[in-house]
Each structure stands twice: as structure tokens, then as C-alpha cells.
Amino acid sequence: MTDLRAKIKDKSAHVVVVGIGYVGLPLVAEFARAGFRVTGFDHDAQKCRLVNQGESYIPDVPSSDLAPHVKTGKLKASTDPSVMREADAVIICVPTPLNKTRDPDVRYIVAATDEVAKHQHKDMLVVLESTTYPGTTSEVMVPKLTQTGYKVGSDVFVAFSPERVDPGNKVYQTKNTPKVMGGVTPGCLEVAVALYSHIIDKVVPVSSTETAEMVKLLENTFRAVNIGLVNEVAIMSRKLGIDPFEVIRAAATKPFGFMAFYPGPGLGGHCIPIDPLYLSWKLRALQYQARFIELADTINRAMPEYVVERTSTALNDVSKAMRGSKILVYGMAYKKDVTDMRESPAFSVIHGLLQRGANVSYMDPYVPEVDEEGITMKSVDPNSSYASYDAVVIVTDHAVLDRARLLAESKIVVDTRDALRNVPGDRSRVYGL
């Protein structure tokens, strides 16, 4: 441990980040900025080529955070897993999706750990950042990293630190977002904290990797359950003839005991729609039903169909059928001002509209074209008129959206984000959630 600690302290340690997407690339940039030699490993040759040219493909990481370090030789990317042979620390940032039965799919974690095990050596730190169920680090990774006789806490150091990436957040980014850290042993925790303290303003140690894994799931379950609650409040409020957004904003004036969440067309992104189900799956194996999680998931997954129903209602009010109507969906990204489409509710909304016979187009200045989840389309020019559509459905309220023009030109607007509330004009054609 002394050699590894010394390398971390004087920043001569070589850090390899496995997976250089939304989570991994910001880490690569921070380690390089802190003075470490860092390599991003990824099977995507295009990503590696861009990094080695000093070019970023992640909006939250400007190319200016990469290019100077590429030039000095401190930062590079590779598709060759043998780079791990000379790594002092390996940080795993691979996807953890759900499979077709909505159970955890940890094959990317397993594959990454197998690659590390093939190239590992004594005095290596391995940190998992991919969101997963409690027990993954100790039950899946540790056996693979100790199968050749290495001892955890003295030969190999293993930790879990949940990623807290919020794409598009202008205030909280990698460095100033507190980082939870759990080690398999106290020695593992000590080494991991020593490394991350060079790039993170505040590291928050916890007692175990299982605790750290549970922290991440609690954070996103908290959001998923509360979003499920306000989504149901939206449905109930409309049945009662009440504006749910007005209700929530009024409730939010209470200075204690209330935290505002807002309804929407469905959950999106790589965390909130997926992570709580990791916990639900784990608890099922222990003969326990995570009722809040499963109920929230049911409500949240039904929201795109509710949006389709609201659109049908809006068209019916002007004596138009859904079948044959021209409908524009504004926003393919899962949240405002990002390019990320993972788990975007727009896909389900579009499928629902198509199934009812509508002619559907989409407009998104951040997503010029789509070819996934059974949808192949190109974005309508953001400067084109909304007047030619029978209805416009706002799924993602990008800041660049000209709200006044949309309201003035559109025949009907289904506003799932309450984006037009304060826009002057005729609101009789606006249908909220």
C-alpha cells in the first residue's frame, strides 16, 4: 500500500477510466486537470479518436478541458484493454441497463471486471461507479479480483463510489458535487478517498460498499417515488377540474416540510427510470416487495399514454380525430438543454400517437435525427412554423424554445412541462397534464 499511496500523493499514479461516456469523460478531464496521467478506455473507437484529438462529445465537458492535456501527453484514450497493465487505479463507468424482463443487467460490469482481472497487478485500486444493487462490488467484483490469490486490502483495493452526474447542470459538476465512497475494507476506503480527494472538493466516506451502493439507489428512488406521486396528483387534479401545477407551486411556498416535484410526460435518462428497479429486484430475492418503488414505476410508465389521451381529448374538443391528424412532438431529449435521449418518454409518446393513426413529426435542436427504439426520423427545422400542425405536444421544454411564437402559431398545444404558463396570449388552446 505504501507505493500506491505514495504514487497517489505525488500524482504519479496512472489512472485508467473504463467507459468514457457521460460519467467517465468528466472524470478523465478532472484527473488530467489535477495533474494525473489518465487514459480513457472504451470499445468505441470513435470516442477514443475524438479524445486523442482533444475533442469532446459530451456537452458538459468542453474540448478546452481535454486538448491541453492531450497535447502534454497526460491524457489519452485507447481501445486496447492492455493499458490496464500499467494502471495504478482503474475506475469502471459502464452502463447498467435493465434487460427485457426489467431485471438488472450487470454484464458490462462483469465484462469490465474480467478485463481488469486479466491485467491486474499488485497494488492496484479498482473503483466501480456504475449504479447497481447492494452487494455487486463484494459479490461480483471481489471474487474475480482475488481469484489468483490477491488479498483485498493489501494487494488489491476495491471500492464503490456512485456517480452523481446531472447532465446540463450549470452549478453542480464533477468537482463540486460531494462524492460518496465505500470500501470493501478500511484500507480500501483509505486509498480510494486519497485518490478522489485530488479531484473532488468533498469526499463522503461510508462504512461499506453496500452502503454506498444503497445511497445511490435511495437518491434516485426518492426522486422516482415523488415524481410518481405528483404524476398521480396531476391525473387526479385534472379529474377534479384543478390545475396541478398551480397546486404544486402554491404548496411550494411553505418554507418547511414540503419539497416541490413536478409532473411530466414520463421518466427519462439513465438513472431515475432504472435504478429503483435494481433495489426492487434485490429485495424480491429476499422475499420482500418494494411496494413504493413498484407503484411509482407503474404510474410513471403510464404517463406517456396519459399524454396521448390528453392529445386525443384536445383534438376531440375541436372535432378532430387523432387518425390522420398532423402532430408535432417538441423535444426528443429526456430533459431540457441536453442531447441525451436515453429512456426519453418522447419515444413512448410518439409510438402511442402513431398507433392511433396520427402523422407524427418531431422538433429538437439538440437531436437532429433519431434511429432507435423503432423510430427513424429527422428533426423538423426549429425555425419552421407550427401553424401547419393540428397539435403540438411539448415533451421537453428546451430553453431555446420560442414559447411566444409556439403559442401564437399553434392550433392546439399539449404542454406536459407547463412551459407556456407565463407566456402572454390565448391560453384556451393549451392543455396541461
Q: Give me Rg for the CA atoms of the chain.
A: 24
Phi, then psi, of 410 in degrees rounded to 5: -75, 145
How far is CA 60 from each of CA 57, 64, 173, 395, 406, rounded to the nearest angstrom? 9, 11, 8, 22, 28
Report the chain's terminal Cα–Cα distance, integer Å: 57
CA 256 to chain centre: 29
The one catalytic residue among 48, 93, 188, 271: 271
Task: Decide if 93 is catalytic.
Answer: no
DSSP state of 272: T
Q: Cell numbers at residue 318, please?
A: 375541436
Q: CB neighbours of 163 closer than 8 A, spacing ≥ 6?
A: 23, 93, 129, 130, 131, 216
Q: Which helix (H) or strand (E) holds 203?
A: strand 203-206
Any bridge partners for residue 206, and if so which? Answer: 182
Do residues 7 and 38 touch, judged by C-beta distance below 8 A?
A: no
Which sequence positions are flagged as catalytic?
271
